[in-house]
Amino acid sequence: MKTKRSDRRLYGADRREARLSLLAAGEERPLVLVVDDDLDARTIYSTYMRAMGCDVFTADDGRPAIDKAVDLLPDIILMDLAMPRLNGWEAIRRLRESSWTQLIPIIAISAVPVSRETAFKSGCDAYLTKPCEPQVVWSQIRALLCLPSRVLGG
């Protein structure tokens, strides 16, 4: 039986474990939230993730990203750090404070090479430096979600 993303009867680790089990079995598509203020970056990453079999939503800033994360409960978030209104560091910190979103893996991605340490201090699970090929992002997503390479044609 498939669970619904909006089904909030499962909480925290139980929900995550159930989703990962369904993802690994190929019964669900990973839900990815791509957050970047650069339209080209959002388009490149979301197009590639869709081609890899993911359901993708996007946000152009940290504040709508937080709202979408709470509403959608994505399996993983790809978060740009340097955004003009609510930056990725603060968005990650806030996501980690919420019981709804604290277990969602977050990949920080930035063109600022010295931001690695501060990104991990904010609570990200992985860090990639821009420019970053979509295949590298996909490999990191698979690793964090523990998806075998055969899942979704990756």
Q: Can you give the pLDDT at residue 8?
A: 47
Sheet (strand 76-80) strand order: 55-59, 31-35, 76-80, 106-110, 126-129
State mean pLDDT over 52-67.
96
Give the global pTM. 0.86
Is a pLDDT exceeding 70 seen at residue 5? no
pLDDT, position 17: 76
Q: What is the pLDDT of residue 23?
A: 77
**What is the C-alpha separation between 131 and 72, in angstroms, rounded?**
27
Question: Rounded mean pLDDT of 141-151?
Answer: 76
